[in-house]
Chain A
Amino acid sequence: MAKLLLVDDDPLLVRMYQKKLENDGYEIQTADDGDVALQKVDLFKPDLVLLDIMMPKINGYEVLKKLKANQKTKKIPVILLTNVGSSDSDIEKGMDLGAVAYLVKAGNRPSVVVSKVKEILGGYVREVPKVKAKIKA
Chain B
Amino acid sequence: MSSGILILSLLSVGFWILVFTLHRLRFKLTLVPLYGLIAALVAYTHILSSFGASVTQGNLFFLVSSTAYFTSLLLGILLIYLFDGVEAARKGLEILVMVSFLQIIVVYTLHLIDPGHTFIPSTIENFKNYFWSITAMVADVVFMVIMWEWLSKIRHFTNYLKVPLLIFLVLTLDAFIFVSGVFAGTGNYLEILKSDIIVRFFLATIMGTVIAAYLTNSKYSEKERDKPRKVWDILDFRSALVRKVKSLEEIIRERQILEKKLRANSNDLAQAKAQSEAVLASIAEGLVVVASNGKFLFFNEQAKEILGLGPQKVVVTLWPKVYGMYYLNQEKVMSINDFQSLHALRGHSVMGEKIRIKNENIKSFKTIKINASPIKIASNIMGAAFTFTDITKEQEIEKAKDEFLSMASHELRTPLAAIDGIVAMIRDGEYGKISDEVRGGLDDVNTASENLIRLVNDLLSVSRIEAGRLKYNLSDFDINSVIKQVVDLYTPLATEQGLKLDITEVPKVIVQADQDKVNQIITNLISNSLKFTEKGKIIISVKHNGDYLDVSVSDTGRGIAKKDCPKLFGKFQQVGAESRKGSGLGLFIAKQMALKMGGDLILKSSRIGKGSVFALSLPKEGTDPAVRARREIEKEASLHPDQKSDNIEKK
Contact = CB atoms under 8 A, between A and B. Distances in A.
A132 B648 contact: no
A13 B418 contact: yes
Interface residues of B, number: 35
Contact of B417 (A13, A23, A54, A87): A13
B650 interface: yes
Interface in B400-427: 406, 409-410, 413-418, 420-422, 424-425
B239 interface: no
Interface string A50-62: 0000100000000
A107 B409 contact: no
A104 B431 CA distance: 23
Give chain B's interface secondary structure class: helix
A83 B430 contact: no
B647 interface: yes
B651 interface: yes
Interface string B146-164: 0000000000000000000
Nearest to B453: A106
A83 B649 CA distance: 12
27 contacts: A12-B418, A13-B414, A16-B418, A16-B422, A16-B425, A17-B421, A19-B422, A19-B431, A20-B421, A20-B425, A23-B430, A83-B410, A85-B645, A85-B646, A86-B645, A90-B645, A106-B414, A107-B651, A110-B421, A110-B424, A131-B475, A131-B515, A132-B515, A133-B482, A133-B516, A133-B519, A136-B649
B243 interface: no
Interface in B367-402: none
A111 interface: yes
Interface string B614-651: 00000000000000000000000000000011111111
A116 interface: no
Interface of B: 406, 409-410, 413-418, 420-422, 424-425, 428, 430-431, 453, 471, 473, 475, 477, 482, 485, 515-516, 519, 644-651
Identify the interface centre among B410, B414, B431: most chain A CB within 10 Å of its CB: B414
A87 B473 contact: yes
Contacts of A110: 421, 424-425
A86 B473 CA distance: 11
Nearest to A90: B645
B409 A84 contact: yes
A16 B485 CA distance: 29
A86 B646 CA distance: 8
A35 interface: no
Contacts of A54: 410
Identify the interface centre among A85, A132, A133: most chain B CB within 10 Å of its CB: A85
A10 interface: yes
Contacts of A86: 645, 648
A105 interface: yes
Contacts of A85: 409, 471, 644-648
A110 B421 CA distance: 6
B634 to A, nearest CB: 14
Given A84-B409, A105-B421, 6 more contacts: A17-B421, A84-B645, A106-B648, A107-B650, A109-B424, A110-B421
A107 B425 contact: no
Nearest to B426: A19
B417 A83 contact: yes
Contacts of B649: 107, 136
A42 interface: no
B516 A132 contact: yes
Contact of A13 (B421, B471, B516, B651): B421
Contacts of A111: 424-425, 428
B410 A84 contact: yes
B430 A20 contact: yes
A114 to B, nearest CB: 10
Contacts of A16: 418, 421-422, 425
A133 B485 contact: yes
Nearest to A8: B414
Contacts of B417: 13, 83, 105-106
Contacts of B471: 85, 87
Contacts of B485: 133
A109 B482 CA distance: 22
Nearest to B646: A85
B650 A106 contact: yes
Contacts of A106: 413-414, 416-417, 420, 453, 648, 650
B430 A19 contact: yes
A88 B515 CA distance: 12
Contacts of A17: 421
B516 A87 contact: no
Contacts of B515: 131-133
